[in-house]
Structure 1
């Protein structure tokens, strides 16, 4: 037997940026609990709109699965006294399991004879379990701050107004969050009045749409909005730029979406488009429109929550609202152009970066020095990098960035061009904030990459230098993100840089930073630790990174190349045997009081297997050294893999720890050479090769 269940929680308008996550968390928790109880269902449909969270479960099992299990109790020798009467332990066991003493028997649990009884588990009604399941799911929702309303002590993200909880056509007898379950819902705040009776829960979505003017399914509403926005943009002879975050937010703001196009004065297009887009997107939740070349058009698209016979009033109202906001952006831009970035630098002295690390001006000076150092290490002209580093923070004290913080860097780009700076310098000022988030693009210019790297290394080193290391729950300076950015900049842009060297120089820029060596070690360890998650996401086994990390290297690009090479090597047919052989050699050498240092004496190679191994190893040495110098690690490991049969035969036929000291030392020298050759790339003895 199975039934359909509908749950709907009606509230005041839910936070639009949280609606989707709340709905997904509710659905995931309920389904997880149902599956844990063994309750099967045909389908689970989730619904979310500005004033409701709901789900519909179709064909849910009426009962939890019934099963008979054996419960063991106390040992038989303590369950009965000498007269054969049940002891307190036996009676307690019976009471716990709801059986009489006559219903228990004695059996072995595999170790000792114990009391045992068979009990039936399961069979609970799903209709009785669901209220508790939903209550638990609601309590676990990711709500940053819960609120109370009225005189009630009930807490939720927003005040609860109604509750629907039904099994087929029957209302469940339950209460949640201060509301008693019923069979009535509410429709659109403006297009519907009064309550709507749900007479068929399988038609819940259609009832709300037809009687309440509410599109309850979030994904459906999102698709409709996207289609409407694209159609309106096409009518405006442009293309709508649909940002996922904005689309999600708008989908959470409306129940009955109607996309409308509006326009603004062309004169505003003289303002940096990013400022106009920010104003439209952040303040008004508008989608902007571009032409075929990607240039901003003087048009916008808003999504109304009202259906009307005449939308002109809505469009006119939105145009009136956006005009002063764009006028503000134009005013800020025009005002900022009157003062150069160079002249603004002095104002940075009053802006604190961190109390112990000085002002933003001080930071820009350190970035400039570090950018120059990095450029020298890369063997590139650092003039553009140094100039960009000098000016990269000046737009922070501009009116534009004060009003639109997301314009930092972008504003600096436009102001630099206005000041007569080169395009390379202007672009580096903009790009030094890249990447801004996981998966974001990297700087396209070498100068931008250098300043981006210098900025982050200065922050990480300074914060570590004053002892404010990030913890598992606190990372106020976003050092994890900064560290990943450092690795991405170096690896993906193929910058041949030594991180330890850069951090040491960065630390030297702070006047009173003590224990520089310790700071360098801590920063290096912390940044390189981010590689673990990087490779985990790439599907590379942790042992591969550990094998490379054992060499204690500090050049990220070199580390990355080795990891890729070892990862590829680990997939080969020879990897398991060679990894085991290296581990065996490492164990042998680790037990010696003194490590072998001598050369191989060919005259002492008495066994055929050791002669073959030496001949093949010596033949490879020149080629291997060339490959190591060229950092062609994959090719080097491929060459070393050819030794596999000779290594196997050596351990099969040769007694390493021979009684003759000269033979023993010569063989140990041979193993040391083998081990050293592999260690040039990584310690492959740490690989746990899976077959």
Structure 2
């Protein structure tokens, strides 16, 4: 059978840049799932996306079996034949209706009763099937902030203008979103009046690049963009700090990258560098340039779709925008710095943190108390830490943060600096929100670390207490991101904390009457579950995490080290032997419910292996206590591997369920001691 290429392209109005890749991958993954379910096979599937198109190209697509059978049920056998075994009139009428010959009749048992049946081959129209699959997938994407764009009830992220759907050279005729499918596409921004006809699916996206000047492949377009900005920066004796999230965003705004240099007045470079960078990156979606000393230059790179000989108007437009924003910044800075930052704190009483959680003044006072819990573990000047916490939210009511909310913290740090606060204080204020997003940098200063953890824990505890925890994919207060940030900071800086204790203290600071006395446990579990993000590629990671959090004291640093330890050993034969031993011990205790003494009676040890094992157990318990204290978990497993040889020998040579009750209880006590030693490392029962 000839294998074919399927192509589908959805032509839409501009898709929001932050959703483009997510939407494209969702369509791609849904095609993989649906094709598998519908028994389709293919060699390769590719996704393409630009702000104005979403496409899927499937190479060598075919159905495993293009034929299916439809069963026609006839009369029951009891009325199908007479006493002589001849066909009754009912049977003859049924056979005549479907033009059935006697040799094509089969008897099938349906719901405990036998019937005459006829199976008719029905060829599958797999073009239609592909169209149906496409329709279901596209209609299922309504959860992407959908909108309606005409009198119809169709919903999608943006209005759909055209649907291309072909198999090799032939259009798959179908109707989706009220539009008839065809084999036409368009270039970027309708720069040509004529549509581009795709004569063969294999030519996509090559024909689109040649005739429409569009790079449909998302990753190739990003590589092209990256290469162009690097070259242009080098040409202008400048250096780039590649912001990957900005690179992704700009790539999602264009269909073919063209780069230009835009200059602005040098006199504005005295404005704090972070503010200028923010305006260039976040507002202008452009790339700032730096000199050898890592100082911002008065030029930046813009990326556009249109290539023209004269770009003066475009450059002038960007210059007008940046000049306007920089003038606003100067005005706001002058107004905000008329008084010292500490005088702004009282105004925080007017700013609500969240309903039932008080105002920002109360939040900053909570942070003053929370930050003290970390002083011994993180080691910072306590007075400076409290001062930083007290001033941390003062920039919220400034003109600068009102205009540029994303600069919160950075602006507070700048105002604290000009108010003559110490370096430790203003650096701590700057770092309080780090990390803000995936792969963002972490706080480096001691006060910044303590304040960041304090702020994130305060948010999580407060929202859980009023029942605003994340549900499903919804997380409006970014609590998952906050929890991941806490874990990252603690692991990176090797901070050993009793999380249960700290969360309980924060709950007491809120002084709420909580309906559930176990609220802190829910918060702890919520934070620990975020370890899944760190080890998402590892098999059985949920069970591994569960195995190391069975203790009463939750220490994120220890949990991470134990996870790493198990991941290192889990595939080894020695570790598998430990799991077998643990399971054998648990099986003994499932069968018996005995009251066991705390101590092993040495007088009841009858076999040499018993005596050796008991000696090893005594020494091992002390050794593992010491190794756990030093967080040398890899060594603890090695010690368990060593003693496991004696435990196996013990099982093979000693009868646990001895007829003499005292000896039996003594042997169960030995097993219980081993079980407790194993639990000092992890709850291995989660790993079977």
Which bracket does the TM-score occupy, shorter chain normalised? Answer: 0.7 to 0.9
Partner of 1:545: 545
Decide whether aligned partners of structure 1 residues 511 and 253 sit closer, same or farther in structure 2, where only a CA change above 3 A counts.
closer
Superposition pairs of residues 71-470 of structure 1, within 5 angstroms: 80=80, 83=83, 84=85, 102-106=103-107, 120=121, 123-141=123-141, 144-189=144-189, 191-199=191-199, 202-203=202-203, 205-376=205-376, 381-470=381-470
Q: 1:101: Cα distance to partner?
A: 6.1
**CA deviation map 1:503-534 (0-9, x unaligned):** 12112212444468533333333333434554
> What is the DSSP-based 3-state SS (H/G/I as helix, E as strand, rest coil) of the residue aligned with 2:518?
helix
Asked if the contact 2:279–2:325 (Cα under 8 Å) also holds between the matched residues in 1, the reply is yes
Partner of 1:682: 682
Q: 1:403: Cα distance to partner?
A: 1.0
Q: 1:312: Cα distance to partner?
A: 2.6
How many pairs are equivalent? 685
RMSD over equivalenced CA pairs, Å: 3.8
For the residues of structure 2 that align with 1:519 and 1:433, how far apart are their CA atoms? Answer: 25
**CA deviation map 1:553-581 (0-9, x unaligned):** 32222333344444545444333343333
For the residues of structure 1 that align with 2:363 and 2:98, how far apart are their CA atoms? Answer: 71
For the residues of structure 2 that align with 1:518 and 1:524, how far apart are their CA atoms? Answer: 10
For the residues of structure 1 that align with 2:147 and 2:92, how far apart are their CA atoms? Answer: 49
Asked if the contact 2:378–2:446 (Cα under 8 Å) also holds between the matched residues in 1, the reply is no
Asked if the contact 1:190–1:306 (Cα under 8 Å) also holds between the matched residues in 2, the reply is no
Q: 1:182: Cα distance to partner?
A: 4.2
Partner of 2:482: 482
For the residues of structure 1 that align with 2:241 and 2:14, how far apart are their CA atoms? Answer: 27
Partner of 1:53: 54
Q: 1:585: Cα distance to partner?
A: 3.3
For the residues of structure 1 that align with 2:50 and 2:341, how far apart are their CA atoms? Answer: 47
Q: 1:444: Cα distance to partner?
A: 1.0
Decide whether aligned partners of structure 1 residues 25 and 565 sit closer, same or farther in structure 2, where only a CA change above 3 A counts.
closer
> What is the DSSP-based 3-state SS (H/G/I as helix, E as strand, rest coil) of the residue aligned with 2:548?
helix
Asked if the contact 1:3–1:168 (Cα under 8 Å) also holds between the matched residues in 2, the reply is yes
Asked if the contact 1:263–1:298 (Cα under 8 Å) also holds between the matched residues in 2, the reply is yes
Q: Please say which of residues 283-292 and 171-180 is displaced more in the overlay.
A: 171-180
For the residues of structure 2 that align with 1:94 and 1:615, how far apart are their CA atoms? Answer: 86
Partner of 2:614: 614
For the residues of structure 2 that align with 1:300 and 1:681, how far apart are their CA atoms? Answer: 55
For the residues of structure 2 that align with 1:641 and 1:89, how far apart are their CA atoms? Answer: 77
Within the alignment, does 1:504 sit opposite 2:504 as a pair? yes
Asked if the contact 1:275–1:404 (Cα under 8 Å) also holds between the matched residues in 2, the reply is no
Q: 1:187: Cα distance to partner?
A: 3.3
> What is the DSSP-based 3-state SS (H/G/I as helix, E as strand, rest coil) of the residue aligned with 1:509?
helix
For the residues of structure 2 that align with 1:532 and 1:596, how far apart are their CA atoms? Answer: 38
> What is the DSSP-based 3-state SS (H/G/I as helix, E as strand, rest coil) of the residue aligned with 1:681?
coil
Decide whether aligned partners of structure 1 residues 134 and 82 sit closer, same or farther in structure 2, where only a CA change above 3 A counts.
same
For the residues of structure 1 that align with 2:383 and 2:96, how far apart are their CA atoms? Answer: 85
Decide whether aligned partners of structure 1 residues 137 and 542 sit closer, same or farther in structure 2, where only a CA change above 3 A counts.
closer
Q: Please say which of residues 379-388 and 75-84 is displaced more in the overlay.
A: 75-84
Partner of 1:634: 634
Q: 1:13: Cα distance to partner?
A: 3.5
Q: Please say which of residues 39-48 and 490-499 is displaced more in the overlay.
A: 39-48
Q: Please say which of residues 605-614 and 428-437 is displaced more in the overlay.
A: 605-614
Asked if the contact 1:535–1:542 (Cα under 8 Å) also holds between the matched residues in 2, the reply is no
**CA deviation map 1:169-196 (0-9, x unaligned):** 5544433333334454443446422444
Decide whether aligned partners of structure 1 residues 655 and 171 sit closer, same or farther in structure 2, where only a CA change above 3 A counts.
closer
Asked if the contact 1:376–1:382 (Cα under 8 Å) also holds between the matched residues in 2, the reply is no
Q: Please say which of residues 256-265 and 51-60 is displaced more in the overlay.
A: 51-60
> What is the DSSP-based 3-state SS (H/G/I as helix, E as strand, rest coil) of the residue aligned with 1:549?
coil
**CA deviation map 1:312-339 (0-9, x unaligned):** 3322232123211122123222332222
Asked if the contact 2:23–2:144 (Cα under 8 Å) also holds between the matched residues in 1, the reply is no
**CA deviation map 1:385-427 (0-9, x unaligned):** 2221111111111111111111011112222221112222111
Q: 1:27: Cα distance to partner?
A: 4.3
TM-score under structure 1 length normalisation: 0.87
Partner of 1:601: 601
Q: 1:8: Cα distance to partner?
A: 3.8
For the residues of structure 1 that align with 2:310 and 2:137, how far apart are their CA atoms? Answer: 43
For the residues of structure 1 that align with 2:585 and 2:5, how far apart are their CA atoms? Answer: 66
Q: 1:371: Cα distance to partner?
A: 0.7
Q: 1:264: Cα distance to partner?
A: 0.7
Decide whether aligned partners of structure 1 residues 88 and 327 sit closer, same or farther in structure 2, where only a CA change above 3 A counts.
farther
Q: 1:497: Cα distance to partner?
A: 1.5
Q: 1:245: Cα distance to partner?
A: 3.5
For the residues of structure 2 that align with 1:98 and 1:427, how far apart are their CA atoms? Answer: 88
> What is the DSSP-based 3-state SS (H/G/I as helix, E as strand, rest coil) of the residue aligned with 1:18?
helix
Q: Please say which of residues 196-205 and 470-479 is displaced more in the overlay.
A: 196-205
> What is the DSSP-based 3-state SS (H/G/I as helix, E as strand, rest coil) of the residue aligned with 1:642?
helix
**CA deviation map 1:87-125 (0-9, x unaligned):** 99999999999966641335899x99886766546x434
Asked if the contact 1:192–1:211 (Cα under 8 Å) also holds between the matched residues in 2, the reply is no
For the residues of structure 1 that align with 2:534 and 2:482, how far apart are their CA atoms? Answer: 14
> What is the DSSP-based 3-state SS (H/G/I as helix, E as strand, rest coil) of the residue aligned with 2:141?
coil
Partner of 1:658: 658
Q: 1:52: Cα distance to partner?
A: 3.4
For the residues of structure 2 that align with 1:675 and 1:646, how far apart are their CA atoms? Answer: 14
Decide whether aligned partners of structure 1 residues 86 and 526 sit closer, same or farther in structure 2, where only a CA change above 3 A counts.
farther
Decide whether aligned partners of structure 1 residues 301 and 78 sit closer, same or farther in structure 2, where only a CA change above 3 A counts.
farther
Q: 1:34: Cα distance to partner?
A: 4.5
Structure 1 unpaired stretches of 5+: none
For the residues of structure 2 that align with 1:583 and 1:95, how far apart are their CA atoms? Answer: 67
